[in-house]
Chains A and B, each alone.
Chain A
Amino acid sequence: MKNGKMKSLAWMLPLLFFCATVPEVTAHHGNSAYDEQARVSIKGIVTEFVWTNPHSQIYLDVKEKNGKTVNWGVETNSPAILTRAGWTSRSIKPGDEITIILCPAKNGAPVAYAGSGDAGTKVIFSNGKELDFQDKTTK
C-alpha cells in the first residue's frame, strides 16, 4: 500500500517539477478561457482527432478518480501549424492511449488547450513517443 503510494508520487514528480517552472512558460495563445499558467496532464483513449481549420481538436475518454469516464475536448492548432510541427492527420487515431499536457479551462469544464501558443503542451503516446506543437521548420 505504502509502496503503491510512493509509486504514484514518483510518477507525479516530473509533473511537479514542470509546474515549478511554470512562471517561465510563455503564454501567447491569448484565449482567456484557459489557464495558460497551468500545465495539467490527462490520460485517456482517443475517440476522435478532428483535423479542421482553424482549430484542430483531440477528443479522448478519461477515467476520473470516481470511476466515471468523461470525454474531454482539447483545442489545438490549425493543420498548417501542426504540419510544420511534424504532425499529420493520422498522427493520432481513435483507440490510441495518450497523455496530453495541456492548459485547462478556468471554469473546470472538460475542455482544454494544447498547442503552439503555450510552450510545454504536448502529446505523449503509450510507447513513450512525444509530439509537441513547436515549428520544426525554423532553425
Chain B
Amino acid sequence: MQTLLVRSIGIVAAMMFSVPAMPQAAATRFDAHDLSGVWQLAPGGGGQGPGDSFPPLTPWGQAKYEANKPGYGPRAAPGGNDPILKCDPIGFPRILFQIWPFEIIQIPGRILMFFEGQHTIREIWMDGRKLPADPEATWYGYSVGKWEGDTLVVESTGFNDKTWLGAQGQPHSNEMRTIERYRRVDPATIQFNLTIVDPKAYTKTWEAEPRLIKPRPGVEIIESFCVASEEEEFARRIRQPAAQQTGK
C-alpha cells in the first residue's frame, strides 16, 4: 500500500516536472541583445521622473529648484511653470519616465528610441565612437552605447539646462552626464537603471529608482506632438480658469 502511494507520488511528480519543461524552455528563448519593439515603463515609484527623493542640492541647484513651480509632488500648486506646459521639449532623461509607449529600433551603428510623447527620436551611437569632449548643449544630449555582456550601457552628455528631470521640478545643469543600463532578463522584461552625475546641481551622484520596462504587444506609436498653438488655446480655455485663485 505504502509502496503504491510512493510510486503514485513519484509518477505525479514526474508528470509535474517533465511536462511543462518543453514549453517553458521555448518561452524563455530570446536574444538579450535584441531590444527592438514597442515598450513602456512599468508603473512604479518616481512620479514621472527619476525618483521622489533625490540627493541634496548644491546652492546653485537649490536656487533653480525653488524657481521651478511644479504641478506635481509635495510642492504642487495650481498653475506653475513646468516647461512642458508650453510644449518645450520634455528632454532627457525625463522623457524616459513618461506614461507613453516608445519603440526601440536597432539599425547598424545606432539604436533609436522613438518616443510617442512629443513624437521624438533619440539616437544612441553604437559604432564605437567616444563622447565629444565639448558638445553643443541640446535637449536630448549626445549618447554613445556599448554592450557589457547582456547589458546595454549608454553614456550621455551635452545637455542644456532648460529641462526638468521630473514633474516635481528637479533641476539639472548643462554639466549633467548620465549613464543608463538596460538588461533584458526575459522576453517580457528589461531592467532599467539610470545614474545622474551633476555636481553643479547635486552634492552626490543620483542613482534613480530601478524600474522595469515591459513590452506593449500590438501597440503602434501614434503621432503625439505637443502643439504649442493648441496647448496655448487649451491653457486659455481650461488650465488657466482651473488655476485661478477665486473667492468662490
When the two chains form their complex, are residues B238 and A54 in contact, meaning their CB atoms are under 8 A apart?
no
Could you say which residues of chain B place their CB within 8 Å of the CB of A3? none
How many residues does chain A have at the interface if contact means C-beta atoms less than 8 Å apart? 30
Count of inter-chain pairs, beta carbons less than 8 A = 93
Q: What is the CB-to-nearest-CB distance from A66 to chain B, in angstroms, rounded to a whole number?
A: 15
Interface size, chain B (Cβ < 8 Å): 37
Query: Is the CB of A1 closer than 8 A to any CB of chain B?
Result: no
Min C-beta distance of B113 to chain A, whole Å? 17
Contact of A75 among B47, B71, B117, B239 (CB under 8 A): B239
For A17-37 the 0/1 string (1 means CB < 8 A from B) is 000000000000011111000
5 A-B contacts, Cβ less than 8 Å apart?
A: A33-B71, A53-B227, A54-B117, A55-B234, A80-B223
Q: Check A57–B237 contact: CB distance below 8 A.
A: yes
Check if B45 is an interface residue, CB within 8 A of chain A.
Answer: no
Asked if B218 is at the interface of the complex by the 8 Å CB criterion, the answer is: yes
Task: Report if A111 contacts B (CB, 8 A).
Answer: yes
The yes or no answer to B76 lying at the interface (CB within 8 A) is yes
Q: Give chain B residues whose Cβ lies under 8 Å from the Cβ of A57.
A: 234, 237-238
Contact surface of A with B, Cβ cutoff 8 Å = 30-34, 50, 52-55, 57, 73-75, 78-81, 83-84, 105-112, 137-138
B89 to chain A, nearest CB (A): 13
Per-residue interface assignment for chain B, residues 217 to 248, with 1 indicating a CB less than 8 Å from any chain A CB and 0 otherwise:
01100111111001101100111011111101
Docked-complex contact B238 and A83, CB < 8 angstroms: no
**B23 to A: closest C-beta gap in Å:** 19
CA distance A107 to B238 in the complex (A): 12
Contacting residue for A111 out of B76, B77, B224, B238, CB 8 A: B238
Question: B48 in the interface, Cβ–Cβ < 8 Å?
Answer: yes
Q: How far is the CA of A105 from the CA of B246 in the complex (A)?
A: 11
Q: Does B103 contact A (CB under 8 A)?
A: no
